[in-house]
């Protein structure tokens, strides 16, 4: 009985599988500053998620990066991604990587909500990216 209880506790403490999230959900609404986010989006705050998309540098350049934008489309001319079409990803401290071509799958903790700088919203989705595959 005690053994079973300990086992259940251990199982409960194991990290759960990341929730698979798509841009169809993240970007499936017209975002305006200050709006109440749809519940299917707001409920993802502080969840560990997996999102597939394209890596893009915040500023064009070359060399390894510690931060990147995850977006839904490879083609930059296909319309500027809106704030709800971008996940701002940060790799762990000290970790950098080369920008990968094609679709990547990023897993980590997602933070949902407006972040302001200089009085304007600069981010809606941020992620502490643990893995990029």
Partner 1 sequence: MTRVNAVRLLLWTTLSVPLLALWPQGQDAAADDWAAHVQKACTSPRYGLRLAAARKLAEGGDAPVPAIRDWARQHGRNQLPAALVDAIADADPKAHGPAVLALLREWSEDADFFWRAAAMRGLALRAAATAAPGRHELAAWFARCHDDPAWLMRTHARLGSALLDDPDAASRPEADPRARVRLAALLLGQGRVPPLQPLLDALADERTFRGDPWGRRLGAEAHKALKAWLGEAHPLADGGSFADKPAAITALLAAAAAKSGQSLQPPVPRTDPATPFTGGIEILSCKHGDVFVQWTAAGEVFAGLDAETEARLPAEVWQRLTQARAALPLGGDLGVVICDSMRLEWRPPDVHVKVAPGSLPAAAAIWLEQLARAVEEAGCAGLGRDLRTALTQFAGR
User: Which residues lie near partner 1 (CB under 8 A)?
Assistant: 22-24, 27-30, 38-40, 52, 58-62, 69, 72-80, 83, 86, 88, 99-103, 115, 117-118, 120-123
Report, in Å, the least distance between residue 3 CB and partner 1: 38
CA distance 112 to 56: 20
Burial (CB < 10 A; 0-12, 13-18, 19+), residue 6, is exposed
Name the residue nearer to partner 1 (CB basis): 9 or 59: 59
Q: Min. distance of Cβ 130 from partner 1 in angstroms?
A: 21
Burial class (CB in 10 A: 0-12, 13-18, 19+), 39: exposed
Residue 7 or 124 with smaller CB distance to partner 1: 124
**CB 88 within 8 Å of CB 125:** yes
Whose Cβ is closer to partner 1: residue 3's or residue 90's? 90
């Amino acid at each position: 009985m005690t053994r079973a209880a300990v086992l259940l506790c251990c199982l409960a403490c194991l990290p759960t599988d990341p929730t698979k999230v798509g841009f169809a959900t993240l970007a499936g609404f017209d975002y305006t500053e200050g709006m109440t986010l749809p519940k299917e989006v707001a409920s993802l705050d502080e969840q560990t998620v997996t999102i597939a998309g394209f890596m893009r540098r915040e500023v064009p350049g070359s060399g390894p990066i510690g931060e990147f934008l995850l977006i839904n489309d490879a083609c930059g001319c296909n319309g500027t991604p809106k704030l709800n079409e971008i996940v701002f990803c940060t790799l762990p401290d000290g970790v950098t990587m080369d920008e990968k071509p094609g679709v990547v799958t990023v897993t980590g903790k997602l933070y949902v909500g407006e972040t302001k700088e200089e009085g304007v919203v600069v981010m809606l989705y941020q992620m502490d990216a643990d893995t990029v595959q």
